[in-house]
Amino acid sequence: MACFPMMVEIEGRTLIVIGGGRIALHKIKVLLPFGADIVAISDDFLPEFFALAKDNENITLIQKSISGDSRTSFEDLLDESDHDICFVIAATDDIKLQDVISEVCKDRKIPVNVVDVKDKSSFYFPAVTKKDELVVAVSTGGACPTLAGHIKNKLDGIIPEYYKDMTATLGKMRDRALFEISSYGDRKKFFEELIAYGEEHEGKIPDDIAESYLEKYR
């Protein structure tokens, strides 16, 4: 059965990434623009990790080995943290460690993604296109992440750059529309007309135009 997509606010929350290789590095780069505090843990890191952490104060690197022979070392790691752990990503090919991370996180109701191992994950990491506040995520429910990435790359070429500006403009109008337009149906028409105008003018919706549309539906 397909997974239900849900956008989650992660700014200021802690994400734990287990692994110091290319895959872990890629996941961290995708997560960085969303403002989370990222803790990466591995007994060895690629040099790029240190450069990235130097330029981003919200990345913490912990050079430490976690044993896959028992739950204790990973549980101790979680117990040492007094942070609000949003989720855990396991980017390691150590099968025993994958099992431990998956079991402990599921027992503690912490969402976990074991990269490329569907049955050990409680959520799937989507392919993400981000243009400021506009975020589009693509997932195959863990069936084929490569396909999700392929679709994401196509979307990158389809979604106009001006959509990010139009998103900001529409966002500024949202509270006023909720307060000044009582009917849900009229609010929907109001935004549909603003979007149509924005599409015709490369995302530019002047204040006077927005005001005239708002007046129409008051």
Judged against a pLDDT cut of 60, whether residue 130 lies above it is answered with yes
Task: List, for residues 188-213, the tens digit of each pLDDT value.
Answer: 999 999 999 999 999 999 999 999 99
Q: With respect to residue 5, please indicate whether it lies within any of the assigned structural domains.
A: no
Task: List, for residues 5-20, the tens digit of each pLDDT value.
Answer: 889 999 999 999 999 9
Same domain, 174 and 102: no
Same domain, 177 and 121: no
Q: With respect to residue 108, please indicate whether it lies within any of the assigned structural domains.
A: yes
Q: With respect to residue 20, please indicate whether it lies within any of the assigned structural domains.
A: yes
Same domain, 86 and 178: no
Same domain, 114 and 200: no
CATH number at residue 42: 3.40.50.720
Q: With respect to residue 63, please indicate whether it lies within any of the assigned structural domains.
A: yes
Mean residue pLDDT of the chain comes to 92
Task: List, for residues 137-158, the tens digit of each pLDDT value.
Answer: 999 988 898 999 999 999 998 9
Q: What was the pLDDT predicted at 80?
A: 77
Q: With respect to residue 6, please indicate whether it lies within any of the assigned structural domains.
A: no
Q: With respect to residue 3, please indicate whether it lies within any of the assigned structural domains.
A: no
Report helix angle 47-55 to 22-31, nearest 10: 20
Same domain, 181 and 78: no
Q: What was the pLDDT predicted at 83?
A: 66
Domain that residue 196 falls in? 163-217
Residues β-bridged to residue 113: 89
| Domain stop point among 73, 100, 125 | 125
Same domain, 120 and 47: yes
Same domain, 113 and 41: yes
| 46 vs 64, more confident | 46
Task: List, for residues 75-107, the tens digit of each pLDDT value.
Answer: 888 887 656 799 999 999 999 999 999 999 999
Same domain, 63 and 115: yes
Q: With respect to residue 21, please indicate whether it lies within any of the assigned structural domains.
A: yes
Judged against a pLDDT cut of 90, whether residue 28 lies above it is answered with yes
Considering its fold, how many domains does the chain have in total? 2
| Domain stop point among 67, 101, 125 | 125
| Domain stop point among 100, 125, 150 | 125
Q: With respect to residue 149, please indicate whether it lies within any of the assigned structural domains.
A: no
